[in-house]
Amino acid sequence: MGRGRLLLPHVARRIVSAASVALAAGICQAGTMQPLADDELANVSGRDGLAFNLQNFSLSGQLTLTYTMPGPSGSNLWLGNLSLSRSDDPLSTFTDPYTLRVLSRGNGLADVIRLTEPLNTGGLLKWQFAADWGVNADGLDFQGGALVVNDLVTRGGSVTLTTPSAPNVEGIAFGLALQADIANLMVRPRGRDDVTSPDPSTVTEQLRLSGIHLGAASDTGVLLNSPWVLADATTQPGIFNAITDASGNSFLHLGIAWPTTSAPAPIGGLLIDSIVFKSDSLPGGQLDLGSSRIGTIQLQYLDVKLKAGF
């Protein structure tokens, strides 16, 4: 079962409504309330902000997430027996929160909802994750084993949601900025075993990626201590929607538009310190592929379509 505490260090709200204004006028003048004119209402604005943090958060139990393809096949992909927890930074419980805000962009553009992560400069907020997974397709019930993540640290990233600004386009437009470090990511086909250890002796087969670092990078491929902006809701928006082509085929669509300004798309980088396969069938019991690095990644445009049915 999930457990934890939601701490609300401050809630900043400034909401002005016609009813409250009219009520105040009625109290002051001891008269009946009068409706406000449209031009007066047009000048009323409000912004909501919420700051929060999670303390002693954990989630575990018989929870399964399943994606089932439409149509007669019933093929599905599932993720089950979820386990999720986070450590705390007791000195920054209230001073370094998550923030959820509604922001105005002006220039006739729709407002955005933005969730910003803690800066987590000390790296003390660490996530642990484990789940079993499998696929049912073409009459086969494939048990994939377990996916385990140790010490996932994110710093100052954000997710921005809004409506598409392009005419006749429906769906969710988004922005995404991410900086992440992962101590270990393991795929264990024989089960999760000891999720607190990256290489327990009782695990005979696994793929382990250690020291994963993702974030903004310089032109020369040096990782910077800042989030990589994969998509910007205003200048290079992402889009997630469902589309149907001229032949009537439906797809789930994930895309990132071309930049709308002269500035190039931001540069990111990915570094993996170690990639190791472990198996009794390998000479010496393992295959060490060493490190891997993508010095610079630049998403100028992305267009991915996933078939939703047969």
User: Exposed (0-12), middle (13-18) or buried (19+): which is 174, by Cβ within 10 Å?
Assistant: buried
d(CA 180, CA 123): 10
Measured at the CA of 203, the angle between CA 201 and CA 206, to 5 degrees, comes to 125
Q: What does the buried/exposed string (b/e) look like for 242-272 if buried means 16 or more CB atoms within 10 Å of the residue's CB?
A: ebeeeeeeebebbbbbebeeeeebbbbbbbb
The position carrying tokens 């994606």 is 67
Q: What pLDDT shows up at residue 149? A: 98
- Cβ atoms 150, 184 nearer than 8 A: yes
- Cβ atoms 75, 67 nearer than 8 A: no
d(CA 221, CA 217): 6
Domain boundaries along the sequence of the chain? 49-307
Q: What pLDDT shows up at residue 9? A: 40
Cα separations in angstroms, 121 against 95, 153, 248: 12, 10, 50
pTM above 0.85, yes or no: no
Q: What pLDDT shows up at residue 44? A: 53
Q: From 247, 251, 298, 243, select the one nearest 270 (Cα to Cα).
A: 298
Which residues, other chains included, contact 191 with Cβ-Cβ below 8 Å and sequence gap of 6+? 132, 145, 146
Mean pLDDT by 10 residues, the chain (310 residues): 45 37 43 65 62 87 85 84 93 90 91 96 95 91 95 98 90 97 97 95 96 97 96 96 82 92 95 97 94 96 76
Q: From 127, 180, 130, select the one nearest 151 (Cα to Cα).
A: 127
- Cβ atoms 65, 79 nearer than 8 A: yes
User: Exposed (0-12), middle (13-18) or buried (19+): which is 160, by Cβ within 10 Å?
Assistant: buried
Q: What pLDDT shows up at residue 28? A: 43
Q: CA 173, 49, 157, 228 torsion: positive or negative?
A: positive
Beta strands in 61-157 (DSSP E): 64-68, 76-86, 98-103, 112-116, 127-137, 140-154
E strand or H helix that includes residue 276: strand 267-278
Q: What pLDDT shows up at residue 55? A: 82
